[in-house]
Structure 1
Amino acid sequence: MTPKSKPFSAIASSITSLRNAPQGFTRAGGHEYDLQEYLRQLLGRPPPSPTLASEPTPVQRVWMPQAGCPAGWVRVLAKHPALERVFQDVPAFKIPPSSRARGWGRQNRLPSLKADRIIRAASNLEMDHLLECEVDPTVEAFCEQPIRIQYKHQGVRRSYTPDLLIFDRTPPHEIREVKPERKAAEPENERRWPAIGEALNSLGFSFQVYTERHLRIRKATVRAIFRDRHAPLPSPEVLAAIEVGLGQDSVTIGEACARFSLTRQQVHALIRKLFFQLADFDAPLGPDCPIRLGPGLTRWSGRNQYLDI
């Protein structure tokens, strides 16, 4: 078997090294000792430090609707079929099948209790955001790719479909674009975010560009809750006793475990089922984390859903 020939880059590197060899080394094939010494010097040098791409400085990108501010030009072209009571005069677009293209990858899916349907996410970052919204006590409901709008940027009409519409407990409701910080900080995106924000503000929505630095704060809490989501649930009698015993009060996870003979995994599973909700989402998930009864209580009591989008 003939040995493989060196690639051109390796040959070029060897030639460069020989050109930079010490003067005592004869290229015509004379001094083997000088060659060994030169190679020993090369091996003794530390490798060069890798050149890393600089991380962009995180920027807060939030646009809130304010009275008296000029409204941006916007036209709502279509809406998600789940938004039956929003933009009633706007037609609903058809949900396309999941993309199987290699460039897009396989889409993630979340069986959402708040939306009462399966929600698709186009990236792992969007999936992490959906999981956070599912257990965030301030989020009543949410809808992915809620509307398709047309807005003006630098005098040109452009179309835009945001990633998520968040129905907060207190208006205004918020539309979010989920992007990695490095993509959100691209010059073209930084120029168009204000135009999109003004257009959505004129519709009565706030607009925020949501990046991984937002999700990093609560990521450990969300992962722990969903890791224990399949834990065995208490009996209906215990759930009824919890409903009567807590009422509108809040207790810590440790107190709930001791008072109602629950395990920590069962409490996490009940938070996922929306039977409990976190009273302070920013608090570390542990025995001292406060919880209270959540909106999913209606599912266990046989009443209607707590929210109809």
Structure 2
Amino acid sequence: MGALWSAEPQTARRRRSRQQLTNLIVSVQSAVVSLFQHKKLPPNELDLLNEKIRMLMKTEVGPFILDYFQNQLLKKGMVILREKIKREKGQQLLESLSDIWDYFFCEVLPMLQAIFCPVQATGFSVREMSLVGFRDTILLKIAFSEALDTPDVVISPSITQMLLVLQSVHDNNPEYLQLESLVARIVSPYLGLRGLYMGGPEPLIPANKPVTVVLRQKTLGDEPLKGERPLSMQLFPSQQLDEQLPAPGRGEAHKRTPSAVGQGLDPLVEGEVMTRGFGRRHSIAGGAGDSQKSQDDVTQVAGSD
């Protein structure tokens, strides 16, 4: 009889502990999902969420917080964003995607990093997981490639920024090579893992070794995908390289036409202000001087390699 009385409070404590754990998880989940629904956190909510994350880290679910974020919360949030544009096509799709990227990159991503700041990642960081999630769940699941084939399509600075930021996160999945082909259609010339691209989805100068990818779901701690520069770039003298590369053409800023060849781009600086009303460094040059500068930059890269 005494054992029965002692077991009852212990059972009640376990039940209460599990209920508290569930409440913590639901609270964090609700806050994360609300960000993707264009809702702002209430005042002081961020501090409370940080404290809840710290409390979760002390429980049995602590080691799995980032797994839960990546496989559950992040996917749910990305699907919410994708639903807004999944049926759109052509120029309208690019404009809507540009708006979604601006909101995600400027509002959602910083808040996700702030919420999960107490968690120390051993593999991909919260930022990298979020960017890969945007790539796999949104960009590669919509008709983005078909939209680029639209006649006289206009590429906004936000789309260019999106591609450059997403390609900065390397993983060993085939989705990264899909992204590389998309980047190469916007940024030209572009040196990727598969070789040197000149405005098309396939490299003009292939890499000297094939790039291998792992056909499995990425897990935390995966090594970044490694590749080598094209061997041909190391063998060409600068003058021969000039002959191999087509001369850049003239074109309007951020406008793709069948006759226009993309220009070289300066390295992307993250945190650069994205303002639709102003010009941006990642644009197709419109003058002969810019064309010559782009070609000289490619020559210098070849010489240094």
Question: Which structure's CA Rg is the greater one?
Answer: 1
Higher helix share: 2
Q: Structure 2 length as normaliser, TM-score?
A: 0.18
Q: Structure 1 length as normaliser, TM-score?
A: 0.18
Higher strand share: 1
